[in-house]
Amino acid sequence: MLFTETNGSREAYAKDPAVIRWQNRYFLYFSSYYADGGRERLGIGIAVSEDMEHWTSVGHIPYTQPCEENGTGAPAAIVLGGKIHLFYQSYGNQARDAICHATSADGIHFEKDATNPVFRPSQDWCVGRAIDADVVPFGGKLLLYFATRDHAMQVQKIGVAAADLNGGFSRGEWTQLAARPVLTPEYAWEGKCIEAPAALEQDGKIYLFYGGAYNCSPQQIGVAVSRDGVDFTKLFAHPFIAAGKPGEWNSSESGHPYVYRDDDGKVWLFYQGSPDMGKSWYLSRCRIGFSQGLPVVCS
């Protein structure tokens, strides 16, 4: 699989993948640029597939709320209660960007939460920004992982909040589980950035895949694990998925992961890559398994 958006306002641009299966088709949500009314903004594209290998773009989600005025992006998708829930970020507002929520019955048309944005963290431990959402059911709650920054807007890190799994996920329903980051940059390859959390429940634990380092520096993918969803231990001191070799589609980056368990139990890691320092962006995937508590890439 190698997918990019060619129906947007840029020649080849698809980032930040999220995948679900709905009504016998796969839906891929991603970030790209679109020109609505002559104005180019980052937005959320939609592609569909019968086999998770060949994808067809079918449109993008329109900008309809004040918080979306400057753009949207970085979607996360999950099926709960017989409908699709999409968590995504506002874009272009720096420290004021926050997480939004919408639902759909067909995967293409979305009803947006009237309280959007539904979540941003308190400012006592970070700048109050929230981007790059991902969600996972765990312990009767829906855990929301997000990226934020320090008060100087220099260091990117990951936090976590939770809401009742049977609730509506609107503003006021989310509680921070820790007034501190759950993951911060530590290794040289992570630079000043850990972002794009991608959560998977496996054997009663949360495995959190993440992007280490800012775009094309290069960003590469790491993994951490937790028994309670809050206290994490990084599994490797080196990237789990590294940038590609010169000339490959991901030579400038392998980043922004998304982990998806299909109906047959197989686990797929989707991620973005660039061959030209961010001029163009593509999405791909690999299958992962687990051996003695550690994730491994399957051949």
Q: Domain boundaries in the chain?
A: 64-297
* 34 three-class SS: strand
pLDDT score of 17: 98
CA distances, 252 to each of 59, 165, 195, 204, 278 (Å):
28, 38, 17, 35, 8
Give the three-class secondary structure for 170.
coil
Q: What is the DSSP letter of 199?
A: E
Q: Per DSSP, what are the bridge partners of residue 45?
A: 30, 60
> Distance of alpha carbon 127 from its chain centroid, rounded?
20
Tokens of 156: 């990117």
Query: Which residues of the chain register pLDDT less than 50?
Result: none
Q: What separation in angstroms does the CA of 146 have from each of 35, 119, 196? A: 27, 10, 7
Write down the pLDDT at residue 299.
Answer: 75
**pLDDT the model gives residue 246:** 97
Question: What's the length of the chain?
Answer: 299
pLDDT tens digits, one per residue of 1-16: 999 999 999 999 999 9
pLDDT value for 85:
98
- Residue with token string 């109906």: 263
Q: What is the reported pLDDT for 36?
A: 81
Q: What angle do CA 72, 73, 75 make, to 5 degrees?
A: 125
Q: How much is the pLDDT for 68? A: 97
Phi-psi region of 71 (alpha: psi -120 to 50; beta: other; left: phi over 0): left
Q: 64-297, which class in CATH?
A: mainly beta
pTM: 0.97
Q: What is the DSSP letter of 23?
A: T
